[in-house]
Amino acid sequence: MDFFQTYGLFAVFVSLVTTPVGNPVPEDVSLLAGGMIAGMGQTSIWNALAVGYSGVILGDCVAWAMGRRVGLQPGGFLSRVVGNKQIARLQRYYDRFGDRTILICRQLPGFRLPCFFIAGATGIPIKRFLWIDGTAALITTNIFTWLGYVYWADLARVIHWLERFRQGVLTLAILAGMMIAYRIVQYR
């Protein structure tokens, strides 16, 4: 979270745009961080909403463009990343719900990348994709950014507690590793 506090909305934007290409920070966390930054008074909520929305849409377009460029091949990029079962599930969704699958998957973390990739690979026009995804992104962007804005103080406390917890677990893991190494050396 220090990364977001140090670099502000630029970090939120970069995090959102790079989510489809392997950024490990989930989109929802980046949007919460944008709201927290606004809640702390570093920027306005309207700037946080605009940056969050544009980052989400641009990141989704990256996933769509990857699908358009690579396509759907058995054993291809997408099946290696998310697995054949999830691709088959999404294709059944597309068969059943059509373009509304984009609207549904936008609300489900973990389904966004494969869904938008498949949208590009199956030839959904970019204008239609942007219309559906842009409308759905208004929901998630507003919800998570406003939650971060309203509950920024509570989130800061939780993040601080999680950081201390992470440090404690790391210390215990180092101690356990040292004990195991000592036992291995002693055994030999």
pLDDT, position 104:
83
pLDDT tens digit sequence for 104-147: 888 877 778 888 888 888 888 999 999 999 998 998 899 889 98
Task: Decide if 19 contacts 59 (C-beta within 8 A).
Answer: yes
**What is the C-alpha R_g of the chain?**
20
The mean predicted confidence, pLDDT, of the chain is: 82
Distances (CA, A) of 48 to 66, 69, 85, 93: 27, 31, 36, 33
- Angle among Cα 40, 42, 46 to the nearest 5 degrees reads 95
Identify the weakest region by mean pLDDT among 10-19, 21-30, 38-47. Answer: 21-30
pLDDT, position 56:
92
Report residue 58: phi and psi, to 5°: -65, -40
pLDDT, position 78:
65
Please, what is the end-to-end C-alpha distance for the chain in angstroms? Answer: 44
pLDDT tens digit sequence for 137-171: 998 899 889 988 888 877 777 766 666 776 777 78
Task: Decide if 10 contacts 43 (C-beta within 8 A).
Answer: no
Cβ atoms within 10 Å, residue 68:
18
pLDDT tens digit sequence for 44-101: 899 999 999 999 999 999 989 988 887 766 666 666 666 777 777 777 877 788 778 8
- Tell whether pTM > 0.85: no
pLDDT, position 77:
65
